[in-house]
Structure 1
Amino acid sequence: TPIGRDGKIAKPRQLHNTHWGLVCPAETPEGQACGLVKNLALMCYITVGTPSEPIIDFMIQRNMEVLEEFEPQATPNATKVFVNGVWVGIHRDPAHLVNTMLSLRRRNMISHEVSLIRDIREREFKIFTDAGRVCRPLYVIDNDPKSENCGNLVLNKDHIRKLEQDKDLPADMDPEDRREQYFGWDGLVKSGVVEYVDAEEEETIMISMTPEDLEISKQLQAGYVLPEEEHDINKRVRSILSQRAHTWTHCEIHPSMILGVCASIIPF
């Protein structure tokens, strides 16, 4: 139930860590509605919903055992598969299934707004395709050990070149042809450079604050001792780097994207 504005309870009005990147931390009304009326952050996206049946059919083809045929005594360590909160089946090799689903999403075979959450401790794999979830975009980091680009952003100079070529498209071009040739933001999403992540999936990934942090992290793992920078203006928001942190999966597009429309035009 929604919280009434008359109450003087402080907790629901306060900022929470999970609001990062989804809700503007500065923009809220004064008075009774303070903290209860929130504003979306700049790059936020609300899902419109996609059908879940094709995903369930695909997982059945990929050795998911349907709940009706499942014998708990035979496979006590199997991972449960949930789709939109409904337990649909179990899988014996969840790591392979999750990697397959992730690669499908990054290749635009399934919708970019589908959320994939693997809870290893609880042995659960949750998929959400419903409408009304708040997502935000992040750069993807290539974690394929066979790839030469492993540990770096998927974004490369080819993508930048395609984006720059969009400027050269003539304004009086046929709309259909323009749509085919235009790369733009959708091109980045479809080529797996940028991925939409919702609040629940964000719990299962490791996000680097800036691409520079990735480089620093690599140097730390190589055993270099890096000097402390005294006048680093981004020090407060930087990720805490250590030799152990080597599993970055995503990178923030820019730290200022946590702000909403009104807060982002305030001159600081």
Structure 2
Amino acid sequence: GRDGKLAKPRQLHNTHWGLVCPAETPEGQACGLVKNLSLMCHVSVGTPSEPLYGYFINRGMEVLEEYEPQRFPNATKVFINGAWVGVHTSPKDLVDSIMHLRRYGDLNHEASVIRDIRDREFRVVTDAGRVMRPVFTVQQEDKIGEPEKGSLCMTKNHLEHLEEWHVVNEEREEMATGWEYLVKSGCIEYLDAEEEETAMICMTPEDLESYRKQKLGYGEPQSEMDAAGPNARLRTKTNPTTHMYTHCEIHPSMILGICASIIPFPDHNQ
């Protein structure tokens, strides 16, 4: 209850990053027990999972009733909303196809796709009540006509389309515009806490750029870092062990809630 002096339920867990505001909470007795959502946080409404079951079967999933462990000892288990529905022998292809469907609007953007390689599990979650947040997507493969591998999927063409969206014409009704357009064209993806565990997210597009330079063999010149001076923005050092970024934060300040983000100069307190 509220009169208990336990510290654990009052603290933010690491998996709440970006979903729950770290600053806005009541003072006194209810401190830390009442939490606020972050600015871009979104609560899932839930979508039917039946079509996914049929899709998985068409994609070569062996149904649980017909599964014989001796035949495929290393097969990956497939779960839909926590229920084990079958096994699949080539999970990477299945994950890639589901990701592609979600990224380009054929599957609802609220569905979560989690592949646990270590436990050989593939989970798809479509239920209601999960908190999710949007992040930019990063191009994973070199494809003709698409952005370079390791750069944001969002290009100048997308920005030009956003500037034209206020044009009123007959096509305006059918066209996806604004935020919806960015989600449907695969520039932005919603992740929940569970899927975020399997993603590698960088803080800003500049960090993405410096990471790409580092991969190509250009080090960051020391003189440039010194010249920035005391007022320069703090930048995270690139982690040499990072294999590849999958997503990029929209803006670091999106971890705050509404009340905390309207405080002027919150980082200049006493």
TM over 0.5: yes
1:14 aligns to what? Answer: 11
Q: CA deviation at 1:163?
A: 0.9
CA RMSD of aligned residues (A): 1.7
2:182 aligns to what? Answer: 188
Q: Given that residues 217 and 246 in structure 1 are in contact (C-alpha distance below 8 angstroms), is that contact kept between their aligned partners in structure 2?
A: no
Deviations along 1:130-151, one digit per CA (max 9) or x if unpaired, are 0000000000001113355211
Greater CA drift, 139-148 or 223-232: 223-232
Q: Given that residues 208 and 239 in structure 1 are in contact (C-alpha distance below 8 angstroms), is that contact kept between their aligned partners in structure 2?
A: no
Which secondary structure does the structure 2 equivalent of 1:108 belong to? coil
2:256 aligns to what? Answer: 259
2:109 aligns to what? Answer: 112
How far, CA to CA, are the matches of 1:146 and 1:244 in structure 2?
25
Q: CA deviation at 1:179?
A: 3.3
Deviations along 1:165-212, one digit per CA (max 9) or x if unpaired, are 12344xxx78xx643245110011011010000000000010010000
1:163 aligns to what? Answer: 162
Q: Given that residues 47 and 131 in structure 1 are in contact (C-alpha distance below 8 angstroms), is that contact kept between their aligned partners in structure 2?
A: yes
How is 1:29-108 mapped onto 2 (pairs within 5 angstroms)?
29-108=26-105
1:123 aligns to what? Answer: 120
- Aligned CA distance change for structure 1 residues 152 and 180 (closer, same or farther; 3 Å): same
Q: Do structure 1's residue 205 and structure 2's residue 205 form an aligned pair?
A: no
Deviations along 1:53-94, one digit per CA (max 9) or x if unpaired, are 001100100000000000011111000000100000000000
Deviations along 1:94-130, one digit per CA (max 9) or x if unpaired, are 0110000000001111100000000000000011000
How far, CA to CA, are the matches of 1:225 and 1:43 in structure 2?
34
2:268 aligns to what? Answer: none
How far, CA to CA, are the matches of 1:64 and 1:6 in structure 2?
51
How far, CA to CA, are the matches of 2:197 and 2:15 in structure 1?
9
Deviations along 1:5-51, one digit per CA (max 9) or x if unpaired, are 11000111012221111000110001111111100000000000000
1:132 aligns to what? Answer: 129
Which secondary structure does the structure 1 equivalent of 2:166 belong to? helix
How far, CA to CA, are the matches of 1:182 and 1:64 in structure 2?
34
TM-score (norm 2): 0.91
Percent identity for Structure 1 against Structure 2:
59
Which secondary structure does the structure 2 equivalent of 1:88 belong to? strand
TM-score (norm 1): 0.91
Q: Do structure 1's residue 226 and structure 2's residue 226 form an aligned pair?
A: no
How far, CA to CA, are the matches of 2:118 and 2:197 in structure 1?
13
How far, CA to CA, are the matches of 1:58 and 1:113 in structure 2?
17
How far, CA to CA, are the matches of 2:82 and 2:34 in structure 1?
28
Which runs of 5 or more residues in structure 1 are unaligned?
Answer: none
